[in-house]
Amino acid sequence: MTTATTDLDRPATPPAFQEISPGRKFRNRLATVLVTGAFLVAMVPLVWVIWTVLAKGLHRVLNADWWQKSFGGLTSRNPGGGVYHAIYGTLLQGLLCAVIAVPIAIMVAVYLVEYGRRSRLAKAVTFTVDILSGVPSIVAALFLYALWVTTLGLPRSAFAVSLALVLLMIPVVVRTTEELLKIVPDELREASYALGIPKWKTIVKIVLPTAMSGIITGVMLALARVMGETAPVLVLVGYNQFINYDPFQGNMASLPLLMNSERLTTNAIGEARVWGAAVTLVLIITVFNLLGSLLSRLTAIKTK
């Protein structure tokens, strides 16, 4: 018995779905190649820098003395010694800066988002913050020099460096905090008001904790950035081979400053010191970034 093919077995219309057209396949491939290529081009200098720094400086860093001693009493012909004095300087200047800048910046952001919305003062502040975030670090350093040394007659010091870094850090932290406060839903503020909680307490206990995880990340990234700034240390403090714990008096080394002055030592020992300091700075900044993401993960909002 043969089964006759009826009209019902044949599709009434040609299939509705088509293959991907050759033109689209080509464009897809082209875009993939371009995007991947751009990624590789961007990666080349990055990997190159890290490779060079590690290749030239790592051997110097893998030594306990490097982390515990200074170059105090050593000439450019003496190997050994370490950068403890410069690590201390970099961390101290960065942390002093953060202690001053972070509270100011967070309060500015709170004003902008919670109180100043659409007011003229808020607009002026936003405009100023925008300009401040575009100020080159050398300008901030020279401004501080004019204020601290020329006008007030105070000596160059690590604290002056911290103040210049404050100028660079405030706009970054204001910006990130402002964005984070804006994405805290208004429903949470209203829920809090409706419980009879005053506005300031709502901000301190509800709004800021909700945004805290992101604010910490922003602060750590900003801190990592200002610790690598070079212009302020060149202008506002002198290099010192010895350990100086006092931020208000005397010269104090920091890693960028150490690199800049050891650069002038034209022998293998000086070269190793510069690269070693470079590795150290990269490591410290990496640690701060990791610490930032760890802290933000610990303070992140949980649902489980």
Partner 1 sequence: MAKRIDIKDLNLFYGSFHAVDGVTLAVPPRNVTAFIGPSGCGKSTVLRSLNRMHEVIPGARAEGQVLLDGEDIYSAAVDPVSVRRTIGMVFQRPNPFPTMSIRDNVVAGLRLAGVRDRKRLDEVAERALRGANLWAEVKDRLGKPGGGLSGGQQQRLCIARAIAVQPDVLLMDEPCSALDPISTLAIEDLIGELKKDYTIVIVTHNMQQAARVSDQTAFFNLAGVGQPGKLIEVDDTEKIFSNPSTKATEDYISGRFG
Least separation in angstroms between CB 127 and partner 1? 21
Least separation in angstroms between CB 222 and partner 1? 23
Q: Which is nearer to partner 1, 92 or 206 (CB)?
A: 206
User: Where in 263-302 is the site for partner 1 (CB under 8 A)?
Assistant: 301-302
Least separation in angstroms between CB 299 and partner 1? 9
How many residues touch partner 1 under the rule CB under 8 A: the total is: 25
Q: Which is nearer to partner 1, 210 or 265 (CB)?
A: 210
Least separation in angstroms between CB 303 and partner 1? 4
Q: Which is nearer to partner 1, 55 or 300 (CB)?
A: 300
Q: Which is nearer to partner 1, 209 or 270 (CB)?
A: 209
Q: Which of 10, 77, 120, 304 binds partner 1 (CB under 8 A)?
A: 304
User: Where in 82-141 is the site for partner 1 (CB under 8 A)?
Assistant: 117-118
User: Where in 166-225 is the site for partner 1 (CB under 8 A)?
Assistant: 185, 187-198, 201, 205-206, 209-210, 212
Give the per-residue SS3 of the chain: CCCCCCCCCCCCCCCCCCCCCHHHHHHHHHHHHHHHHHHHHHHHHHHHHHHHHHHHHHHHHCCHHHHHCCCCCCCCCCCCCCCHHHHHHHHHHHHHHHHHHHHHHHHHHHHHHHHCCCCHHHHHHHHHHHHHHCCCHHHHHHHHHHHHHHHCCCCCCHHHHHHHHHHHHHHHHHHHHHHHHHCCCHHHHHHHHHCCCCHHHHHHHHHHHHHHHHHHHHHHHHHHHHHCCCHHHHHHCCCCCCCCCCCCCCCCCCHHHHHHHHCCCCCHHHHHHHHHHHHHHHHHHHHHHHHHHHHHHHHCCCCC
What are the residues binding partner 1 (CB under 8 A)? 117-118, 185, 187-198, 201, 205-206, 209-210, 212, 301-304
